[in-house]
Amino acid sequence: TTLPKAPTPKPWIEAIHAYVPGKSKGKDGRPLIKLSANENPLGTSPAALSARGAAPALYPDPDSGALRAAIAERHGLDPARVVMGTGSDELLNLAAQGYAGPGDEVIYVRYGFSVYDIAARRCGATPVVAPDRDYGTDVDALLALVTGRTRVVFIANPNNPTGSYLPGGEIARLHAGLPADVLLVLDQAYAEYLAPEDDDGAMALAAAHPNVLVTRTFSKIFGLAGERIGWGTGAPGIVATLNRIRGPFNVSSTGQAMALAALGDPDFVEASRVHNREERARFVQRIAALSNHGLRPLPSEANFVLVLFEGVLTAETAFEGLADRGYIVRWLPGQGLPQGLRITIGKSDDMDAIAAALREMAETAR
Ligand code: PMP
């Protein structure tokens, strides 16, 4: 027998496919216009920008107290029911780590957000993938996979990368069908892009039941992706669990200050929502007009559109063609979507240019 020569990673860690972020540079290293990560094309609230510059030599407030209080007030929550994360990514990982381990099962839907798979595997749990229904969530198919070993269910609403949206009645039906000891994580990273009256009931479920965690982020409509600030709300027991295992100083001072200021600028959020709604509708209409060439935009409630290429022009060729024209979007072969490009809704001129380029490529493809 020979002794091992190096530390050996756990087998379940070695089975993880690392998250592959989108590219942001062209072939020759020139910068591209990046519409591959669902960032806010309007940038960041000016109020948030002017709140930068907190004392960098000091540790941040470990409880993000002022920010948590502001979030709680805004959403009518008890601050004790709000937990902060280094982006909502951290909270998704902590939810899996807190409630699942080797031998347990974590369910998410096919074409769900790719972090769920990593979150499940890194704590040694077994990911279980529910079949989709036309690229969206099929509640009955998901519930049919629940076993005595199921510990966590992840749903993004709206979902990334498909943009699909599950109405409140379906979310309630999903929750009602789950055993009380299964944690339902409702990931609302894109919730602010919906009209305020289109409430999927997630917050109310988290307020009323001990097994629901809702996660939100400052990365998308608030335009603070670079600062890594997410938050979650759920029963005090869930919040206490996540607080026990999160990094003690997991949100930077600058991030806390900027997020607080961003919350105080609802006009920026509203302008971002309106821009997204209008540009998304315009873009979807122009892509739907290319259906004779096999292009199919999936209905989206988020700040991106998944375009399927089912004709002569392939998603890969379109991806390369857009990159040649200076646009980087997201091609998703690693997520089982080699036929799809996820395109973030950007500025008007850029959406016009992309739609025109796709038309040209589709019409000349052979
Ligand atoms: N959930 C979903 C569905 C997402 O698309 C993203 C961002 N890609 C996140 C969570 C994580 O975002 P963040 O960590 O920046 O809050």
What is the whole-number distance in angstroms between the Cα of residue 80 and the centre of ligand 1?
23
* Ligand 1 atom index nearest CA of 89: 14
* Ligand 1 atom index nearest CA of 161: 5
Parse the chain into domains and list their residue ranges: 11-37+267-364, 54-264
DSSP string covering 326-339, please?
TEE-EEEGGGTEEE
Pocket around ligand 1: residues whose beta carbon is below 6 Å from it?
87-89, 113, 156, 160, 187, 189, 217, 219, 225, 230
CB 165 within 8 A of CB 130: no
Mutate to test the pocket of ligand 1, among 200, 216, 220 (most ligand atoms within 8 A of CB): 220
Complex ipTM above 0.95?
A: yes
Mean pLDDT, consecutive 10-residue stretches, the chain (366 aa), reads 84 88 69 92 96 87 97 97 98 98 98 96 97 97 98 98 97 98 98 91 98 98 98 98 97 97 98 98 98 98 98 97 95 95 98 98 95
| Residue whose CA lies nearest to ligand 1 atom number 6 | 189
pLDDT tens digits, residue range 196-208?
888 999 999 999 9
> What pLDDT, on a 0 to 100 scale, did the predictor assign at position 17?
86
* Ligand 1 atom index nearest CA of 92: 10
- Closest to 322 in 3D by CA, of 296, 355, 286: 355
Chain mean position to CA 229: 13
> What pLDDT, on a 0 to 100 scale, did the predictor assign at position 32?
87
Cα–Cα dist 270/222, whole Å = 10
Mutate to test the pocket of ligand 1, among 109, 187, 258, 335 (most ligand atoms within 8 A of CB): 187
What is the whole-number distance in angstroms between the Cα of residue 5 and the centre of ligand 1?
38
What is the whole-number distance in angstroms between the Cα of residue 37 and the centre of ligand 1?
9
Q: How far is CA 105 from CA 92, 115, 130, 214, in A?
A: 15, 15, 12, 20
> What pLDDT, on a 0 to 100 scale, did the predictor assign at position 20?
76
Domain 54-264 belongs in CATH node 1.20.58.340? no
Structure tokens at 346: 């950007």
| Residue whose CA lies nearest to ligand 1 atom number 5 | 160
> What pLDDT, on a 0 to 100 scale, did the predictor assign at position 25?
67
DSSP string covering 205-216, please?
HHHH-TTEEEEE
As assigned by CATH, the class of the 11-37+267-364 domain is alpha beta
> What pLDDT, on a 0 to 100 scale, did the predictor assign at position 221?
98
Structure tokens at 202: 């997630």
Burial of residue 142, with CB atoms counted within 10 A of its CB: 0-12 exposed, 13-18 middle, 19 or more buried: buried
> What pLDDT, on a 0 to 100 scale, did the predictor assign at position 26?
66
> What pLDDT, on a 0 to 100 scale, did the predictor assign at position 323?
94
Structure tokens at 252: 């930077």
CB 155 within 8 A of CB 172: no
